[in-house]
Amino acid sequence: MFHRFKRGHKKMLNKSIISNTTMKSPLQGQSRLNPKGGSIKRAIMASLLLTSLVDAFSILVLYLLSSYSTSGEFMAISKNMILPAAANSVQLERTTIVRVDNGQFYVEDKATTADELTARLLEIRNLFNSKKDENFQPSLIVQADKKVTYDLVTQIVHAGAQAGYSEIKFAVLAER
């Protein structure tokens, strides 16, 4: 039944105007209207447009490379801590970190009381001095939640001054 229809369809096309024109045209058998093809076949294979995919990948790679930071993450921020934001901040460099978390002081992730702050900072300073480490900077990084009051922060500033840390670096979220 189908073959008979196919043959009839072919005969009909051979007699038609399209047949004559396409056969003599420079396109020859390349035309979509090629009656030689007989039945109209549906393309089952779907071709993926890879060019647009490569474009999207390129943009993504460029964005990620531009936001790549070479300094790395040396400071862990706890979940409940939100650092204050500042637009005119400078790049943070690794020095001694003092953290205030829920009213508790931490020097290099080691819990310390307010009274022991100076002693602990002096201990770190002496340790680096004994090693004659030239990279050691007498500066402190203060990491505190934006909602804490200054009476807590001042204890670090005060202890730092007593232990000989002349510079204080307040850790902030850099705004761009």
Q: Which residues bind other proteins (CB under 8 A)?
A: 50-51, 53-54, 57-58, 60-61, 64-65, 67-69, 72-73, 75, 77, 83-93, 139, 141, 144-151, 153-154, 157-158, 160-161, 166-174, 176
Q: Which is nearer to other proteins, 85 or 111 (CB)?
A: 85
Q: Shortest Cβ distance from residue 48 to other proteins (Å)? A: 9
DSSP state of 46: P
Quote the CA–CA distance of 121 and 103 in Å, as a whole number: 18
Residue 159, Cβ neighbours under 10 Å: how many? 24
What single-letter amino acid sits at 22?
A: T
Question: Smaller CB distance to other proteins: residue 24 or 131?
Answer: 24
CB of 59 to other proteins, least distance (A): 10
104-107 and 110-112 as β-strands: parallel, antiparallel, unpaired?
antiparallel
With beta carbons less than 8 A apart as the criterion, state whether 156 and 100 touch.
Answer: yes
CB of 87 to other proteins, least distance (A): 6
Distance CA 57, CA 54 (A): 5
Residue 9 CA to residue 133 CA, distance in Å, equals 92
Nearer to other proteins, 13 or 161 (CB): 161
Which CB atom, from 132 or from 176, has the smaller least distance to other proteins?
176
Name the minimum Å distance from CB 16 to other proteins: 29
